[in-house]
Amino acid sequence: MIFKKKNYFEYYFKDPFFDKEISEERVKHYLEESTPKSSGWWKTLKIHIDMALKFRSHIDYLKNYQTTHLEEKTEGTPNPLMSLKTAKSCPAIIDVLSNSLLLKSPVDIVFTISSDERYVWNSSQYDMASPAIDIVTHDKIQLRTYGNNDIFKNKMNIKFHFPMFVRTTNSPYIFLPPTYHNPDFPFTVIPGTVTKRWMPNELNINTMINIPKTGTKTYHIKKGEVIGYIWFPEKTKLRWSKKRFQEGVIFDNWGSGRKGGKQS
């Protein structure tokens, strides 16, 4: 019998380097292992459509639907529901909610952006020596094409930067928007994968925000608010790492690759 290795999302806080007990308590403010029930929408959604609950099966429902159609001499071809189930049983949704880590804001954040592409932010806890989170941006020239394919026109990159290093033990991962937890999150998560080549890495998530046409626009991100998913192709558990694995990585050029680093 072949036993498949479990996948772990290993982490440690970089500055200062907290011990296991402090790290496991602190990480709860940043990351949470997702389950379908962690989504308020999924948890309260009914399994079956209300109007169909009286039917014992889909055959029973179709029989009633067709009989009613013929007895009432309704014109046209019947167009019944193809399923009595709601999205609660959708395997694609369940997979996302079962195999993700929820990436959360560890603090309250007030963020304001101006029409001239400037921004300012403050958090409820900012220690210059060890900030709970940092918010930075890529220069617009790194994303803008200024032509017919300028998909990021009127948008600005905002990068949420978390004070920890991470890696997985067996699988890649992808960042996704928090659709089933926080659909109104105003920052659009840019989907992106992290494969073995790019591990270990600092934990951060790239987003885009609309630039206001005039004046300024202010947003409030509440502590504990889900700002993105980290999705894995298999069930993944959080695990603190005693080993400072990032210290063995050497970048060989200006951000396009890495070589020479021991990744054990």
Asked whether residue 146 is assigned to any structural domain, the reply reads yes
Kindly report, residue by residue over 132-165, the tens digit of the pLDDT: 999 999 998 898 888 889 999 999 999 999 999 9
Dist. CA 84–CA 215, nearest whole Å: 48
Global confidence as pTM: 0.84
Domain containing residue 127: CATH number? 2.70.40
* Residue burial 126-137, b: 16+ Cβ < 10 Å; e: rest: eeeeebbbebeb
- Of 135, 137, 133, nearest to 117 by C-alpha is 137
Q: Identify whether residues 116 and 75 lie together within a single domain.
A: no
Percent of the chain with pLDDT over 70: 84
What DSSP assignment string belongs to 10-28?
EEEE-SS---HHHHHHHGG
Q: Identify whether residues 72 and 135 lie together within a single domain.
A: no
Confidence tier at 16 by pLDDT (50, 70, 90):
confident
- The residue type found at 186 is P
Q: What is the pLDDT of residue 249?
A: 61
Domain span at 132: 8-37+91-248
What DSSP assignment string belongs to 87-136?
GGG-HHHHHHHHSEEEEE-SS-EEEEEETTS-EEEEES---SSS-S-EEE
Q: Identify whether residues 77 and 152 lie together within a single domain.
A: no
Q: Identify whether residues 125 and 178 lie together within a single domain.
A: yes
Residue 236: CB atoms within 10 A of its CB come to 23
**Which residues, at least 6 apart from 138, have a Cβ–Cβ distance to it below 8 Å?**
157, 159, 206
Dist. CA 250–CA 232, nearest whole Å: 26
Q: Identify whether residues 13 and 52 lie together within a single domain.
A: no
